[in-house]
Chains A and B, each alone.
Chain A
């Protein structure tokens, strides 16, 4: 039981490049979330999903897209990377009141 896994752990992107941050959970949770954490700040919700095929925007969705084709996977897509997207990205899955977080992906856009 690996919990919530995220890949890659660290990535450097050039401005305008695209990439997908991968997130997978093996706990059969319906609820999954993507957050970003800027330096010295709390987490902000980007997108979330309440089940396969259902996604919705969070507080800061601009510049990102998500899909949820299976219960296990919830990838986050950055289409045109900008320096403002330099951050640590956390994926989480939820059961009842508790959210379980992955280890995070550190992204640097130069």
Chain B
């Protein structure tokens, strides 16, 4: 079974609108971390946001928020007020295990969602 599933291969969003990118995960660990990365056409990987499995509140970083639904094993990324510069590939990733020292913070990535922001 896939550990990280991103079901939307690509999507369009109108500038200034919000967009939700889906991510579901599969793990039997009680302690894990969920991440979102952005990959623009230039190719670099840019860290956006992190959610720990024991964090009670959804993570937010500026225009990015993570809608964490633990029972459903979903960690959707919400981008508010989309900008043209948000056009990129977005990857969801998971670290299994109780943290850096135990697990080395190894990440498993999903297949990505391509977002194109229309002016």
Stretch at the interface among B68-76, B77-85, B102-110: B102-110
Residues of the B chain whose Cβ atoms lie less than 8 Å from the Cβ of A58:
106
Q: A41: which of B50, B104, B111 is its contact (CB, 8 Å)?
A: B111
Give A52 to B91 CA distance when docked, in angstroms: 29
Residues of the B chain whose Cβ atoms lie less than 8 Å from the Cβ of A35:
109
Please give me the residue from chain B that is nearest to A100 by CB atom: B47
Give A104 to B45 CA distance when docked, in angstroms: 9
Q: Is the interface of B mostly helix, strand, loop or mixed?
A: strand
Within B15-54, the residues touching A (CB, 8 Å) are 33, 35, 37, 43-47, 50, 52
Judge if A75 is at the interface, Cβ distance under 8 Å. no
Known A-B contacts A97-B50, A104-B43; A42 and B104 likewise in contact (beta carbons under 8 Å): no
Distance (whole angstroms) from the CB of B93 to the closest CB of chain A = 8
Q: B44: which of A33, A56, A98, A101 is its contact (CB, 8 Å)?
A: A101
Q: Is the interface of A mostly helix, strand, loop or mixed?
A: strand
Give A69 to B1 CA distance when docked, in angstroms: 36
For chain A, give the interface size range. 20 to 34
Judge if A90 is at the interface, Cβ distance under 8 Å. yes
Distance (whole angstroms) from the CB of A27 to the closest CB of chain B = 13
For chain B, give the interface size range. 20 to 34
Q: B33: which of A41, A56, A97 is its contact (CB, 8 Å)?
A: A97
Give A58 to B95 CA distance when docked, in angstroms: 13
Q: Quick one: CB contact mask for B85-119 with A, threshold 8 Å, 1 for yes?
A: 00000010101000010001111111110000000
Within A25-74, the residues touching B (CB, 8 Å) are 31, 33, 35, 40-45, 48, 50, 56, 58-59
Given contacts A31-B105, A90-B45, 11 further A-B contacts (CB under 8 A): A42-B91, A42-B93, A43-B93, A48-B106, A92-B45, A94-B100, A94-B105, A98-B47, A99-B107, A101-B45, A103-B44
B interface residues, Cβ below 8 angstroms from A: 4, 33, 35, 37, 43-47, 50, 52, 91, 93, 95, 100, 104-112
Going nearest first, the 6 A-B pairs with the smallest beta carbon separation are A42-B109, A101-B45, A43-B109, A97-B50, A42-B111, A50-B104
